Amino acid sequence: MNYWLIKSDPDTYGWNEFVAKGTDMWEGVRNYQARNNLMAMKTGDLALFYHSVLNPAVVGIARVVKEHYPDPTTDDKRWVVVDFTVERALHRPVTLKEIKEEPLLANIALIRQSRLSVMPLTVQEYQTILHMAGQ
C-alpha cells in the first residue's frame, strides 16, 4: 500500500463536501508531477485530505477506489482523475504549523513543494501525522 496527500482549498472543495458525496473523483489536476502521482495510485491506497489556503491542515483520510482514468472535465487527454471514498475524519486536524515543527516531517513534500496538489508520503510521514492527530 502507498500513502499520499491530496490538497484542496476548502472554499472550492472541502472535506465536508467530500463526506457528503461519500465517493468522488479527484479532478482538475493540471500539473504533470501531480498527474504522475495520480497515475501511480493503486486501489486501496490511502490519502490524507489537506485543506489549503485558510487554516491549512490535514483533516481526513480518503481511500483510492478506482485507479486513474481520463479526466471527464477536459478534452485534453493528458489529464487523469482518480476516485476516492471517505475513510474517516481525523480526531483533530493537524495544522501546517504543527507539521513544520515536527522533525520527523522535515522532508515532507508538503513543505518542500508547497504548490504541489497531489504528493506521495512515506509510511513514517503518514503514521507521524496520524499520531499527531491522536489516532
Rounded mean pLDDT, 8-30 = 97
> What is the Cα–Cα distance from 103 to 14, expressed in whole angstroms?
28
Rounded mean pLDDT, 45-53 = 97
Rounded mean pLDDT, 41-56 = 96
pLDDT, one tens digit per residue, over 78-111 is 999 999 999 999 999 999 999 999 999 999 999 9
Confidence grade of residue 114 (pLDDT, cut at 50, 70, 90): confident
Domains of the chain: 3-132 (3.10.590.10)
Rounded to two decimals, the pTM is 0.96
